[in-house]
Amino acid sequence: VQQYEIAVLPGDGIGNEVVPEALRVLDVVSAKYGFEVGYRHFDWSCQTYLSTGAMMPDDGLDRLRDHHAILLGAVGWPGVPDHLSLWGLLLPIRRAFDQYVNLRPVRLLPGVTPPVRDKQPGDIDFWVVRENTEGEYSQLGGRQGEGTETELVLQTAAFTRRGTDRIMRYAFELARDLDKPHVTSATKSNGIFHSMPYWDERFAAISAEYPDVRVDQDHIDILCARFVMSPERFDVVVASNLFGDILSDLGPGVTGTIGVAPSGNINPERIYPSTFEPVHGSAPDIAGRGVANPVGQIWSAAMMLDHLGQPEAATDVVRAIEQVLGDQSAPRTPDLGGGAGTEDLGKAIADAL
Ligand code: NAD
Ligand code: IPM
Ligand code: MN
């Protein structure tokens, strides 16, 4: 029997409410498909920071390394500055394990009413492929003249040839599997002087390796407008770290709720474990009430199964999600217009399996 050891990090806020629902679904689907999933729980969170001064122990990354994958909830909580909590746990995991692809599907699910008119499931169904280890999220830069009139802060974006080429190749490989291969590059080469002309240059070079794939290049400003006005036009969108971060909240926003959006932080070479987590954060405004939508976390677990080599189980979980959301009599959390709780929706999806 195939066995997988998963590191489970619920983190903060609603992470603690939605992760158990993903485990519930994993238990059911693993029994159905005849493999075993073992969990090692890590309670690292902002609470850890407040009691120890660090988000995780010194050897934290080493303790995660020997797992088949990492399932994460969310990190960040009022009282700990976000840049300390995120740079103390989530971002070091993405970097140490070279999870350079942040793969974020955007899909209008059945039974969910989008804020844009006349869109049906199938109209909005694409991937955001976000560069996940460099770009605008760099620690290069600094601060001078702190507190003076001449105070200056520099934040340097870093784009390497290796980092740029590999995320673009991943996007083209993903697009190749589609019926109509198509990649859109998110750029801003009209305004950002160094990095974005370089991004375009590498996009042109890599696209030449994939003559079968149709390409588009949209500046990030109009791209945002098109996400809302004509989401049908997108199939695979490749973007730098910050542009991809913004697009991967905008996309789910257009599909009706951020609560359903999943992601994989993937090391395609499988040298290191990949991390699967919803796109959303710890949602302090609703945490503790048991009303968070667990679908983003459960779909993230499905992406994990696909990555682990269980594509049938993964597809079945997504089917169960779609079946439950499409059933108007099934439980719905408040973000979906209902009055049900996190557990109700999680159990309904597990039952549908
Ligand atoms: P957020 O995603 O936590 O919340 C934004 C809004 O979406 C809130 O109104 C929230 O209630 C709602 N929401 C989010 N997830 C939901 C769900 N599953 N069901 C229903 N509604 C949901 O973003 P934020 O408020 O900007 O950030 C809160 C904290 O989370 C911050 O500390 C931030 O840094 C952190 N954060 C962490 C991650 C991560 O761990 N990957 C991602 C984003 C934000
Ligand atoms: C995400 C989050 C993180 C990011 C934050 C919390 C650092 O917004 O996973 O999208 O910007 O990558
Ligand atoms: Mn984000």
- Is the CB of 86 within 6 Å of ligand 2? yes
* 8, amino acid identity: V
pLDDT digits 0-9 by tens, 156-178? 999 999 999 999 999 999 999 99
Tokens representing 306 are: 């696909």
Alpha-carbon distance of 135 to 330, in angstroms, equals 42
Residue-wise burial string across 212-243, b where 16 or more C-beta atoms lie within 10 A, e elsewhere: ebebebbbbeebbebbeeebeebbbbbbbbbb
Residue whose structure tokens are 């999933």 = 37
Q: Provide the pLDDT for residue 260.
A: 98
Residue 117 domain-assigned (yes or no): no
Same-domain status, 287 and 350: yes
Answer whether residue 108 is part of any domain. no
Residues 242 and 141 in one domain: yes
- Ligand 2 pocket residue status of 21, Cβ below 6 Å: no
Q: Is residue 4 part of a domain?
A: yes
Give the domain CATH number at 185: 3.40.718.10
Identify whether residues 146 and 95 lie together within a single domain: no
Same domain, 221 and 288: no
Determine the Cα–Cα distance for residues 304 and 299; give it in Å rounded to an integer. Answer: 9
In a domain, 106, yes or no: no
Q: Select from 305, 311, 348, 310 the least CA-distant residue to 71.
A: 305
- Which pLDDT belongs to residue 38? 98
Same domain flag for 301 and 246: no
Q: Could you give the 3-state DSSP secondary structure of residue 218? A: strand
Please tell me the pTM assigned to this model: 0.98
Residue 1 in any domain: the answer is yes
Cβ atoms within 10 Å of 334's Cβ, excluding its own: 16
CA-CA distances (angstroms) from residue 56 to 46, 68, 178, 277? 9, 20, 40, 18
Residues 55 and 91 in one domain: yes
CA distance 110 to 102: 25
In whole angstroms, what is the distance from residue 234 CA to residue 228 CA? 11
Residues 102-155 have pLDDT tens digits of 999 999 999 999 999 999 999 999 999 999 999 999 999 999 999 999 999 999
Residue 21 lies in a domain: yes
The ipTM is: 0.99
How many angstroms separate the alpha carbon of residue 334 from the centre of ligand 1?
A: 15
Q: Which domain holds residue 290?
A: 1-100+262-353
pLDDT for res 74:
98
Ligand minimally distant from the alpha carbon of residue 11: 1
Express each pLDDT in 98-116 by its tens digit.
Answer: 999 999 999 999 999 999 9
End position of a domain, from candidates 254, 270, 298 = 254
Query: Of all helices (H) and strands (E), which one includes residue 185?
Result: strand 182-187
Number of domains composing the chain = 2
Same domain, 272 and 247: no
Minimum-distance ligand to the CA of 75?
Answer: 1
pLDDT digits (tens, 9 = 90+) for 290-337: 999 999 999 999 999 999 999 999 999 999 999 999 999 999 999 999
Q: Which of 282, 293, 336 to mutate to test the pocket of ligand 1 (most atoms within 8 A of CB)?
A: 282
